[in-house]
Chains A and B, each alone.
Chain A
Amino acid sequence: SSPAPAAPAGGESAGGAEAPAAAPVVIQIGYENHPGEPVDLAVNEWARLLEERSGGNMKMEVFPSSQLGSKNDIIDQMLAGSSVITLADGAFYADRGVPDFGIVFGPYLFPTWDDAWRLIESDWYAEQSGLLEEQGLKILSSNWKYGDRHTLTKNPVRTVSDLQGMKIRVPNNTIQIKGFEVLGAAPTPMALGEVYTSLQQGTIDGLENPLPVLYNGKFHEVAKYLTLDGHVRNFTTWITGTQFFNTLTAEQQQWLMETGNEAGFFNNELADEATEETLQLFIDEGVEVIEVDIAEFAAAAEVFYSLPEFTSIWSEGLYETVKEAMQ
């Protein structure tokens, strides 16, 4: 599955004749994940595929662990015309001038992963991608599973009421803050680097993320309860700036996008394996894994979609539109 290419690719500069065998196009790809995580392995696969498919005409330099800067910094770099790619998702696009996109990060939006995959092929998604392109950002690939986001806490969470008043660290954006507020928690934005000691000392009670990120941060050394609440099915997308994208030939654009999707499938296999392995590692290292009644959590979260913070900026009936689009 691949996102429908929304806009006619590369107008101005792609029109010219086949480029002579000049220096290869070099692209920098930057993301937060550390070497060895599924995303990192799949990016390296993408780089390999791209170089092979283009016959050495295109090269991708890989920068894990935020080496090129934070996600927002890299997005600003591509908006300035840099040849960079980064991984981002709906919550970020909402802040970059496409408010409706934020909904894909809402709690319990996708009953199953297949619903997410159907959504990225829908007309609604193509339309949103087009709006994003007007903001200067081109989505290259959308079929990457980042993982189900779960919650790791110092005290067990078995029902929604256990979350009441718990200080859960969330990334600093309205969608994720509100997503936990509706469950009764006290969402606490905090830099990821401060989370380990804050958990250790009890400054906060827990955090949320996909399993591999929770495991790599070693947070389970100081918080022993893992609640498999799956509050967000986090698919993620790779973007670059339209300014750079339009300097590529149509052929180069196609290579870049199709290898991206192929690497996406590779990533999804790795991600599934990693989730199982990580879950076992958590159990082996003394974490209590708690299965909860997802329906109860989903019901509690439903009010999220009618919060005035969102309905005031979203298109009317967005929730229904999106639900329909994933049919």
Chain B
Amino acid sequence: MEISVVGLSALVLLLLLFLKVPVFVSVLAGSLIYFINTPSVPPQIIAQRVIAGIESIPLLAIPFFVAAGVFMNYSGVSKRVMQFAEAITGHMSGGLAQVNVLLSALMGGLSGSNLADAAMQSKMLVPEMVKKGYSNEFSSVVTATSAMVTPLIPPGIAMILYGSIANVSIGRLFIAGIGPGVLLTISLMMLVSFLSKRRGYKPVREKMIAGNELTKAIGVAVLPLMLPVIIIGGIRLGIFTPTEAGSVAIVYALMLGVVYREMNLRDFLKGLKETITSTASIMIIVGAASAFAWILTRERVPQTITEFIVSNVDNKYLFLMMVNVFLIAVGMFIEGNAAMIVLVPLLAPVAAAYGIHEIHFAMVFIFNMAIGALSPPMGTLMFVTCGITRCRISDFIREAVPFYILLLTCLMLLTFFPIFSLGLVNLIY
């Protein structure tokens, strides 16, 4: 009986979602249906679950990096970084799109939040890309898909969580993430290059920049280029946490705004306003999604489906395939870390019983969750990016098709060739 209530909730959610009701309201409406039909749960808990989904220190990275992106635009930092990036990558097809991908890999080295990464780059890179002739939807899709790299490159919250739930070495998981992270980065760059050629995003110069010109390009961007140095250095030296790094980035961007004299009080206030509205629209989806995830967990929906899979599959490869399909579906409805808490204890022992290496399975799991964040109906990464770049969801999805195919290909490689996950770990340990 409870299951039918959950089914109705999900139905209402999907119906409203596709009827142009704001995403967070659709999700809240789904939860509302559950709460009015479940008298054993006091209804004010629904409000608690939405707030609880937001009250988390690691999530502070989102407003911080949104603001960092915003203020880098107004202070003239983005412009200089992009000039430099264009000078360096100008000989490549779709140079700025490549920069977008590479920057996510770099960001991955300091934060574990794909949402923060996507939010910052949507603010900072996409407008510059559009100015240089890239389409908004292409820029948005590149930003959102490349943000998937961040949780794979250490450090990542997902790995820490996985390690502590499934009793796997977090240090080894960190190392294991590098392989899939690099695989994804390189294949994304290849795809971007291929698509850019077809779209006619031509190189702006013939050869790679060198000599005097290079020195000049670095000179223009030297202060902005110090930012990643300061942030990565600060984290590695233990001065601040990855979350706090966002506030350091804001302070640095504001300082440069003063140095370059490009940002006035009006810009500052405008930036503040953009930060607030973007943060609120992202976080309220996160909060609503976490309330809905709570309902699914409480009614043991993912648990029940898992038990069904486990008791009906008796082949290692079939099991992995079923897990892939199931996890992508789960990832569409439940935020990755919340899903992990529920499903890892159920699936990891079964995987071990099939003789699947624990680290290999962890990578497959984490990669699946990352894909879910990108796919409709509830892919948070997609909504965050589109919310900021104002890209229409329909345009985004159409543009994303080749990227989805690439991601699924990477997933298959990762699933059936453990070497991608285990190669580096075996080399080091």
Contact = CB atoms under 8 A, between A and B. Distances in A.
Interface in A195-254: 196-198, 200-203, 216-218, 221-222
A73 B45 CA distance: 9
Given A194-B58, A203-B239, A69 B42 contact: no
Contacts of B52: 69-70, 73
A63 B48 contact: no
A198 B171 CA distance: 13
A67 B294 CA distance: 7
Contacts of B54: none
Nearest to A34: B165
B58 A34 contact: no
Interface residues of B, number: 38
Interface in A55-87: 61, 63-70, 73, 76-77, 80-83
A11 interface: no
A218 B159 CA distance: 11
B300 to A, nearest CB: 7
B163 interface: yes
Interface in B121-169: 155, 157, 160-161, 163-165, 167, 169
B300 A61 contact: yes
B165 A68 contact: no
Interface of A is mostly: loop
A64 B342 CA distance: 8
Nearest to B40: A83
A66 B165 CA distance: 11
B242 interface: yes
A252 B52 CA distance: 32
Contacts of A222: 171
A216 B345 contact: no
Given A194-B58, A217-B164, A67 B48 contact: no
Given A191-B58, A194-B58, A69 B160 contact: no
A68 B298 contact: yes
A216 B166 CA distance: 9
Contacts of B211: none
A82 B45 contact: yes
Contacts, number: 92
B241 A82 contact: no
A203 B163 CA distance: 21
B345 A197 contact: no
B44 interface: yes
Given A69-B52, A69-B294, A194-B241, A80 B167 contact: no
Contacts of B41: 82
Nearest to A217: B164
A199 to B, nearest CB: 9
Given A36-B167, A68-B297, A194-B242, 19 more contacts: A26-B40, A63-B297, A64-B345, A69-B49, A69-B52, A73-B52, A76-B45, A77-B42, A81-B42, A82-B40, A190-B241, A194-B57, A194-B241, A194-B243, A196-B155, A202-B238, A203-B238, A217-B164, A222-B171
Interface of B: 40-42, 44-45, 48-49, 52, 56-58, 155, 157, 160-161, 163-165, 167, 169-171, 235-243, 294, 297-298, 300, 341-342, 345
29 contacts: A34-B164, A36-B345, A65-B165, A65-B342, A65-B345, A66-B341, A67-B342, A68-B294, A73-B48, A77-B42, A80-B45, A82-B42, A190-B57, A191-B56, A193-B58, A194-B58, A196-B155, A196-B160, A197-B242, A198-B241, A201-B235, A201-B236, A202-B238, A203-B238, A203-B240, A216-B167, A217-B164, A218-B164, A218-B171
